[in-house]
Amino acid sequence: MRAAVIVFPGSNCDRDVAVCLRQICNTQPIMVWHGEHTLPPCDLIVLPGGFSYGDYLRCGAMAANSPIMAEVVKAAKSGVATLGICNGFQMLTECGLLSGVLMRNQALHFVCRNVRLQVQQTDTPFTHLYEKDKEIVIPVAHNDGNYFADADTLQSLKDNGQIIFTYGEGDNPNGSQLDIAGVCDKSRRIVGMMPHPERRAEAALGGDDGLRLFAGLLEAVA
Amino acid sequence: MKATIHITLKAGVLDPQGKAIETALHRLGFAQVIQARQGKLIEIDLDESDATTARATLKDMCEQMLANTVIEDYEITLHNDK
Amino acid sequence: MKATIHITLKAGVLDPQGKAIETALHRLGFAQVIQARQGKLIEIDLDESDATTARATLKDMCEQMLANTVIEDYEITLHNDK
Amino acid sequence: MTITKEIVAEHGLAPDEYERILAAMEREPNLTELGVFSVMWSEHCSYKSSRKWLKTLPTQGEKVIQGPGENAGVIDIGDGDAAVFKMESHNHPSFIEPYQGAATGVGGIMRDVFTMGARPVASLNALRFGDPSHPKTRHLVGGVVSGIGGYGNCIGVPTVGGEVNFDPAYNGNILVNAMCVGLARTDKIFYAAATGIDSPVVYVGSKTGRDGIHGATMASAEFDDASDAKRPTVQVGDPFTEKLLLEACQELMASDAIIGIQDMGAAGLTSSSVEMADKGGVGIHLNLDKVPCREEKMTAYEMLLSESQERMLMVLKVGREAEAKLIFDKWGLDFAVIGNLTDTNRMVIEHQGAIVADMPLSPLAEGAPEYDRPHTPTPAAALFASPDTHPHNLPDTLLHLLADPALASRRWVWEQYDSMVMGDTLAGSGGDAALVRVHNTNKAIAISVDVTPRYCFANPIEGGKQAVAETWRNITATGATPLAITNCLNFGNPEKPEIMGQFIGCLEGMSQACRALDYPIVSGNVSLYNETDGIGILPTPAIGGVGLIDDHTKAIGAGFTQIGQRVYIIGDDGTHLGQSLYQQIILQNKNCFAPPCVDLDQERQNGDFVRQMILAGHITAAHDISDGGALVALAEMCLASFNEGNIGCAVDIQASHAFWFGEDQARYIIAVPVTPADACAALENEAAKNNIRLTSIGTTQADTLTLPDHAPIKITHLRTTHEAWFPTYMEGK
Ligand SMILES: Nc1ncnc2c1ncn2[C@@H]1O[C@H](COP(=O)(O)OP(=O)(O)O)[C@@H](O)[C@H]1O
Ligand SMILES: [Mg+2]
């Protein structure tokens, strides 16, 4: 699997996700600077977490306008698997690849902790190694992860099985509607999620619930 | 030309910050507060003296980046230089 | 009574958000932008029909909570109900 | 403009200090020069009250690469790796504007660390607030915590630990101490010294504004007739720019273009250029017309004294400017050659075609005043005679203590910090020391920040010893070897002999402990005059300790991992209730009694034993006994049990309140597997051989903590009790 990680000024989980991808793919992913105008050929695009542009204005808004994002949108629409983690999820909604928006957390605080997640859909290249409805544990770390969409959008997400991760019962850290932690587009090849799978990818960091997502991608898209 | 842009959440969109302000004001004893909403204020100095061009440019900025038009409305006010 | 409150950074205080917006606008090709500053916009619905009282109450709110007067200025505008 | 007595006083300079300036200058200084002297000779920059005593601290050791005197201390952690760390205060700004004050405190200490070529890998903080019921406290806690998180989370350095305390003594003076630890290669450490006549002096980072120009309200008003509104002295932090500055500096540091580098912290351009030139034994010429400014018509005075954040000063090798500029351009940061080194040993400042300052360097730096202020030792406090005649119900007492602001869980605080970014945090907040892996290796560094101000107040020497010993114990309890410390010495007004006595006493205690534990001091910071309306803070010498474990898989935590394991106390029985939380909270006795003594030989002996046994794999959980005593420590081990499981303990000994709540030092609680069958016997033998006191107190069990003759306490109940106070308080309920 050839993976490309897009690096924005202010990204800070780019290395973390690269470490995880290298472990899975046995090669270093391609790190692509936001100012580039071309995207190297790849099977997976990752928009990493962090504070692109300091999260100023709106999280992900300025990153979504970076030169490279036009290429990312094109590639994603042509079927290249695309994963937005945390700040990356915010970018995917900002550039319209995913519906909804991520508002300020209900408690108005940054929150960093492990959360329980339900894997709602296992028929995506991202989630096929998980067992449906079984709880996994993955950390979150964000200020703006409160998923919001209008009623029609929510209904269509439900109808099309696009809500792929939800927070476990009683463990919603941000006030997200329907406990949404991650969604995909209709093609099921573009995924945005607030939890950080790369932070739960080895025993020393508490387990490998996150690693399975990348392992699944390796099988599905390589 | 100077401009002020108000960016506000569309009606019906969740406003956690506004809600929090409302609750905090009530807690401080400001019972008269019926509702509070929070938006953004962006002030821009533009090297452009024609109002029509300025307004069109600012509209572009809002559409492209300053506002997320899925959830936000924007309103541009121009101020003439003194 | 409805009110709009503008909260802006005092002159001379660093505005990282404004600066980042400015840079991003330049990158998008809006070379005309000389400066951008970001502030907050708070809209409050007040159960109060007397303008003088309303203004005094809003001022209290700003001083006590809405603005951080060490680094921010505020400006209150009242709108009559239609 | 002639310099009047009033102007001298406005600049915080004493009349005799002004005489020294006249002698050094051999003429009357102009206002700009006076401004430069005033900041360089301020307590903050010159350490004039403390320098004499700081020199007595032990700073040497086998692992020390760089002791005090640079931006941060550096120690060798093997394999060509170095740990670079320092702690600093941002007390006053945080009281005025808690969010920005704390944020810029974090930003400042990170710059100190990455200036030296290190990548910051961990951030910690030590916070003291006033009484929770004081009207300002809640607002200050909220602002400080979100400011620390706001900066650290954005720049992407995990915040892995710290401490939060409340005491009315801090009502008017909160303490915000931030510590940063970075990692570097031992052959790629960068220093501040500037050498090479004609080498270019380069300014990088953010633009200069009129931020934090203090002590000079009058003077600057005269200089700048354009300004109307009163200028705020609070600086706003920009973590996004600092992240770019960090990456750009790291990129440039990979080359060999840099001769010296120094962040612009307190007293900005002035102190950074004076320090660089003075350390290199050269002169410096700056042209202020080249300084990137964010405001118009800035005067030389303002540019020299501005404390705008996210800026650095570098001296490059001649001819390397262009390649360096490319890097800073890429990251969108200002880059300007603003001067060069000279052979004059003077600082010469040019602005708008005129020389606006021309001053000899050495009086500004090592020639600054140094005082031996009068001091009186703190009188000995009486021993507390425990009124243990009517013992309270043990479980109730425990629950009461765990629910008190002094001991309640700090989860509300630490969950607002990103503790996991960078992917190497093996243990964050909630245990004894934090453990951060050295990327791509099996090694981990262990870090802990501690001090018990009430002990320091009652007995500065014992308190100083205890602060050092507690970090040492916390690090030891993970299995790591403590290597060196940094410190942040927060005290009241040094012009009062009793405050100076506290200062000297604490330093004396710290020194004794550092020597006994082979635990040198490699960096630090002093914050004096923490006093409002004549009320000083408790003496608060915060200590930040750093240790190393070669194989992190051998490290253990404080939480119980399995049921059926034997639980022991290592060290003597608890006896000492003076200054304990039991005395203060349960007995409601706030009198100032003597704190526990620290027997440093016993510390060393017990700690070395615990560490050996952990590394040999005999111990599965360890926690030191500190605030609250043994029963609180035991409860904390239940609360921290593996994966937030609910592993409790069946206590099988009967003991007094002093045993359970005494805060005697040099003690730990450990858990030991009972299989193989002779594991416990082996450990007991080993302890006997080493002359270590070991007391078996119980066995781990599922779900409850039970004390003989008392109803069991459910761990879930213990947890709700422990977790409740902070969030409830912060919601203002
Ligand atoms: N309490 C202390 N113990 C040891 N060293 C100290 C102490 N206080 C200050 N120092 C050392 O003195 C030097 C100057 O400190 P400081 O002015 O705080 O540094 P900076 O200029 O980076 O802010 C530093 O090298 C620091 O490590
Ligand atoms: Mg420094």
Domain ranges for chain B, please list them.
2-79
> How long a stretch of residues is chain A?
222
Comparing CB atoms, the residue among B16, B66, B68 nearest residue A104 is B16
Q: In angstroms, how far apart are the furthest CA atoms of chain C? A: 47
Phi/psi at D198 (nearest 5 deg)?
A: 80, -5
In the prediction, which pLDDT does C11 show? 86
| pLDDT exceeds 70 at position A148 | yes
Residue D669 parent element (H or E): strand D668-672
The structure tokens listed for D42 are: 């301020």
Chain-centroid distance, C-alpha A171: 19
Residue position matching structure tokens 């016993």: D602
Average pLDDT, chain D: 93
* Percentage of chain D modeled with pLDDT above 90: 89
- Which residue owns the Cα nearest ligand 1 atom 18? D525
Parallel, antiparallel or unpaired: strands D354-360 and A111-119: unpaired
In the prediction, which pLDDT does D472 show? 98
| pLDDT exceeds 80 at position D522 | yes
What are the residues of chain D with a beta carbon less than 8 Å away from any beta carbon of chain C? 96-97, 99-100, 206, 209-211, 227, 229, 231-232, 234-238, 240-241, 294-295, 308-309, 332
Minimal CA separation from A99 to chain B, in Å? 9
Phi/psi at C45 (nearest 5 deg)?
A: -95, 125
Mean pLDDT of A175-185: 97
Q: Which is higher by pLDDT, D479 or D210? A: D479
Ligand 1 and D470: CB distance under 6 A: no
Binned at pLDDT 50, 70 and 90, residue D386 comes out as confident
The SS3 call for residue D542 is: strand
Contacts 24+ apart (CB under 8 A), D10-16: D10/D215, D10/D216, D10/D217, D10/D218, D10/D219, D11/D35, D11/D37, D11/D38, D11/D215, D11/D216, D11/D219, D12/D38, D12/D42, D12/D215, D13/D37, D13/D38, D13/D41
In the prediction, which pLDDT does B80 show? 74
Question: Looking at the complex, does the CB of residue C28 fall below 8 Å from at least one CB of chain A?
Answer: yes
Binned at pLDDT 50, 70 and 90, residue A144 comes out as very high
Ligand nearest to the CA of D521: 1
| Residue D139 near residue D176 (C-beta atoms within 8 A) | no
In the prediction, which pLDDT does D225 show? 39
The SS3 call for residue D269 is: helix
Question: Looking at the complex, does the CB of residue C25 fall below 8 Å from at least one CB of chain A?
Answer: no
CATH code: domain C2-79 is: 3.30.1280.10
In the prediction, which pLDDT does D389 show? 53
Mutation for A interface: C15, C22, C27, most A CBs within 10 A: C27
Q: Is the peptide bond before D676 cis (omega within 30 degrees of 0)?
A: yes
The structure tokens listed for A150 are: 């209008």
Residue D539 parent element (H or E): none
- Among residues D679, D677, D667, which one has the least CA distance to residue D625? D667
Ligand 1 and D525: CB distance under 6 A: yes
Binned at pLDDT 50, 70 and 90, residue C56 comes out as very high
Measured between alpha carbons, how far is D302 from D299 in angstroms, rounded to an integer?
Answer: 5
Q: Which is higher by pLDDT, D343 or D229? A: D343
Looking at chain A, the number of H-run helices and the number of E-run strands are 6, 11
Measured between alpha carbons, how far is A77 from A97 in angstroms, rounded to an integer?
Answer: 8
Q: Which of A 72-91 lie inside 8 A of C, CB atoms?
A: none
Measured between alpha carbons, how far is A179 from D301 in angstroms, rounded to an integer?
Answer: 56
Minimal CA separation from A66 to chain C, in Å? 8
Instruction: Kindly determine whether residue D156 and residue A12, on different chains, have CB atoms separated by under 8 Å.
Output: yes
What number of other Cβ atoms are within 10 A of residue D719's Cβ?
17
| pLDDT exceeds 60 at position D220 | no
* Positive/negative CA dihedral, D427, D428, D430, D431: positive
Ligand 1 and D487: CB distance under 6 A: yes
| pLDDT exceeds 50 at position D222 | no
pLDDT beneath 50: ranges in chain B: 82
Instruction: Kindly determine whether residue B68 and residue A61, on different chains, have CB atoms separated by under 8 Å.
Output: yes
Ligand nearest to the CA of D490: 1
* Percentage of chain D modeled with pLDDT above 70: 96
| pLDDT exceeds 50 at position A173 | yes
Least confident of A97-101, D44-48, D213-217: D213-217
In the prediction, which pLDDT does B81 show? 58
Chain-centroid distance, C-alpha D26: 41
Instruction: Kindly determine whether residue B65 and residue A65, on different chains, have CB atoms separated by under 8 Å.
Output: yes
DSSP string, A117-161: EEE----STTTTTSPTT-EEEEEEEES--EEE--HHHHHHHHHTT
Measured between alpha carbons, how far is D146 from D239 in angstroms, rounded to an integer?
Answer: 13
Measured between alpha carbons, how far is D501 from D496 in angstroms, rounded to an integer?
Answer: 9
Measured between alpha carbons, how far is A67 from A37 in angstroms, rounded to an integer?
Answer: 6
pLDDT tens digits, residue range D260-295? 999 998 888 999 999 999 999 999 999 999 999 998
- Among residues D21, D65, D7, which one has the least CA distance to residue D523? D65
The SS3 call for residue C42 is: strand
Bridge partners (DSSP) listed for residue A202: A207
Ligand 1 and D489: CB distance under 6 A: yes
Least confident of D155-169, D171-185, D384-398: D384-398
Instruction: Kindly determine whether residue A141 and residue D418, on different chains, have CB atoms separated by under 8 Å.
Output: yes
D9 contacts: CB under 8 Å, gap ≥ 6: none
Binned at pLDDT 50, 70 and 90, residue D391 comes out as low
Binned at pLDDT 50, 70 and 90, residue D319 comes out as very high
DSSP string, D342-367: ESSSEEEEEETTEEEEEEESTTTTTT
In the prediction, which pLDDT does D231 show? 53
- Which residue owns the Cα nearest ligand 1 atom 9? D525
Phi/psi at A147 (nearest 5 deg)?
A: -70, 130
Instruction: Kindly determine whether residue B44 and residue C24, on different chains, have CB atoms separated by under 8 Å.
Output: no
Bridge partners (DSSP) listed for residue A190: A82
Domains of chain A: 3-221 (3.40.50.880)
Amino acid at D433: A
Binned at pLDDT 50, 70 and 90, residue C80 comes out as confident
Q: Would residue D215 be called left, alpha or beta, if left means φ above 0 and alpha means ψ between -120 and 50 degrees?
A: left
ipTM of predicted complex: 0.92
Ligand 1 and D730: CB distance under 6 A: no
Measured between alpha carbons, how far is D589 from D585 in angstroms, rounded to an integer?
Answer: 7
Average pLDDT, chain C: 92
C-chain residue closest to B17, CA distance: C42
Average pLDDT, chain A: 96
* Percentage of chain C modeled with pLDDT above 90: 82
In the prediction, which pLDDT does D215 show? 41
The structure tokens listed for D254 are: 């990979």
Mean pLDDT of D599-628: 97
- Among residues D378, D239, D70, D88, which one has the least CA distance to residue A10? D239
- Among residues D413, D350, D463, which one has the least CA distance to residue D126? D413
Binned at pLDDT 50, 70 and 90, residue D639 comes out as very high
D388 contacts: CB under 8 Å, gap ≥ 6: D577, D656, D657, D658
Q: Give whole-number Cα distances, D515 to D412, D542, D548, D605, D612, in Å.
A: 37, 18, 19, 14, 21
Please give the distance, rounded to the nearest whole angstrom, from the Cα atom of residue D16 to the centre of ligand 1.
Answer: 25
Measured between alpha carbons, how far is D5 from D254 in angstroms, rounded to an integer?
Answer: 50
Parallel, antiparallel or unpaired: strands D73-76 and D64-66: antiparallel
In the prediction, which pLDDT does D552 show? 98
Instruction: Kindly determine whether residue B40 and residue C36, on different chains, have CB atoms separated by under 8 Å.
Output: no
Q: In angstroms, how far apart are the furthest CA atoms of chain A? A: 44
Binned at pLDDT 50, 70 and 90, residue D216 comes out as very low
In the prediction, which pLDDT does D219 show? 36
pLDDT tens digits, residue range D181-207? 999 999 999 999 999 999 999 999 999
- Among residues D552, D415, D547, D614, which one has the least CA distance to residue A204? D552
Ligand nearest to the CA of D262: 2
In the prediction, which pLDDT does D565 show? 96
Mutation for A interface: B68, B72, B74, most A CBs within 10 A: B68
What number of other Cβ atoms are within 10 A of residue D15's Cβ?
9
- Which residue owns the Cα nearest ligand 1 atom 10? D524
Please give the number of the atom of ligand 1 that sits closest to the Cα of D487: 1
| Residue D606 near residue D668 (C-beta atoms within 8 A) | yes
Q: Would residue D205 be called left, alpha or beta, if left means φ above 0 and alpha means ψ between -120 and 50 degrees?
A: left
Binned at pLDDT 50, 70 and 90, residue D542 comes out as very high
Binned at pLDDT 50, 70 and 90, residue D226 comes out as very low
Chain-centroid distance, C-alpha B10: 11
| Residue D290 near residue D221 (C-beta atoms within 8 A) | no
In the prediction, which pLDDT does D390 show? 57
Please give the number of the atom of ligand 1 that sits closest to the Cα of D73: 27
Residue position matching structure tokens 């018509």: D297
Mean pLDDT of D77-89: 98
Mean pLDDT of D623-646: 92
Measured between alpha carbons, how far is D485 from D488 in angstroms, rounded to an integer?
Answer: 10
Residues of D in contact with C14 (CB under 8 A): 206, 209, 211, 235-236, 238, 294, 308-309
| Residue C7 near residue C74 (C-beta atoms within 8 A) | yes
- Among residues D43, D153, C49, which one has the least CA distance to residue A49? D153
Mean pLDDT of D539-546: 98
Ligand 1 and D154: CB distance under 6 A: no
Q: Which of A 55-74 lie inside 8 A of C, CB atoms?
A: 56-57, 62, 65
Residue B49, exposed/middle/buried by CB under 10 A (0-12, 13-18, 19+)? Answer: exposed
Going across the sheet that includes C72-79, the strands are B72-79, B2-9, B33-46, C33-46, C2-9, C72-79
- Which residue owns the Cα nearest ligand 1 atom 17? D45
- Which residue owns the Cα nearest ligand 1 atom 14? D69
Question: Looking at the complex, does the CB of residue B69 fall below 8 Å from at least one CB of chain A?
Answer: no
D96 contacts: CB under 8 Å, gap ≥ 6: C70, D233, D234
A-chain residue closest to C38, CA distance: A57
| Residue A50 near residue A8 (C-beta atoms within 8 A) | yes
Minimal CA separation from A48 to chain D, in Å? 12
Comparing CB atoms, the residue among C11, C19, C71 nearest residue D97 is C71
Residues of A in contact with C28 (CB under 8 A): 65
Pick the most confident of B22-26, D94-98, D625-629. Answer: D625-629
Residue D110, exposed/middle/buried by CB under 10 A (0-12, 13-18, 19+)? Answer: buried
Comparing CB atoms, the residue among A62, A146, A150 nearest residue B16 is A146
Give the pTM. Answer: 0.94
The SS3 call for residue D480 is: coil
In the prediction, which pLDDT does C81 show? 58
D503 contacts: CB under 8 Å, gap ≥ 6: D50, D53, D375, D460, D489, D491, D494, D539
